[in-house]
Structure 1
Amino acid sequence: MAWAWLAVAGGLEILWAVLLKYTEGFTRLWPSLATLSAMGVSFYCMSRALQLLPMGTVYAVWVGIGAFGTAVWGMAVEGEPASALRILCLVLILAGVAGLKAAG
């Protein structure tokens, strides 16, 4: 169950990172509230995962999921460059996350 909490936390990290752009420096109320809510729930889910998994693993996987998902969103939706090198680096992030999961 700890890995499920961590997966949800990572998904919410992607969400709040994407939403952060729409807050315009926290000057827009509803995007700001949505961002802060996603952050809070993400941290809660991460704290649940920390009850059973090592702190370093939880944090690294959480950041990895967020970095991967946010970069993919940027390339797919925001028109950011999708060069072969960027994609290779994203694959390496996924490999690191998978390695941490396999290591326990």
Structure 2
Amino acid sequence: MNWIILLVASVFEVGFTFCMAKAKEAIVPHSYYWYGGFVVCLVIGMYLLVKATQTIPVGTAYAVFTGIGAVGTVLIGILVFKEPANAMRLFFMATLIASVIGLKMVSH
């Protein structure tokens, strides 16, 4: 169950980075809505991360949290913000995903 909580927390991490990027693009007063979304996603994500670490080792949980968040943020950048999707970026995203899966497999 806590692995699911950790996955949801990682989605909120992607949410707060997305809101941060959108706030940078928006003009006042619309940017305040994105900053509000940033704060909400940040608080929920951190709360869920703390809940997940009740049974998952903190080092593993944080590595998985940031790994999924990083991959999700790169994907959002590619799909929404039209960032480049070159072979090296995709290769390193794949190695990051493999590392997250490896940490999950060796955690008790």
Q: Deviations over 1:26-78 (max 9, x none)?
A: x6321111110000000010000010010100110000001000001111121
Identity %: 32
* Secondary structure, counterpart of 1:23 in structure 2: helix
Distance 2:22 2:97 in 1: 27
In structure 2, which of residues 39, 64, 67 is the aligned counterpart of residue 64 of structure 1? 67
Instruction: Give ranges in structure 1 of 5+ residues lacking alignment.
Output: none
Residue 18 of structure 1: aligned partner: 18
Number of aligned residue pairs: 103
Kindly provide the amino acid, as one letter, of the partner of residue 96 in structure 2: I
**Are 1:30 and 2:8 counterparts?**
no
Aligned structure 1 segments of 4 or more residues deviating by more than 2 angstroms = 22-25
TM-score (norm 1): 0.94
**Are 1:50 and 2:53 counterparts?**
yes
TM-score (norm 2): 0.90
Residue 4 of structure 1: aligned partner: 4
Distance 1:17 1:49 in 2: 21
* Secondary structure, counterpart of 1:52 in structure 2: coil
Distance 2:23 2:47 in 1: 22
Deviation at residue 22 of structure 1 after TM alignment: 2.2
- Please, what is the CA RMSD of the aligned residues? 1.3
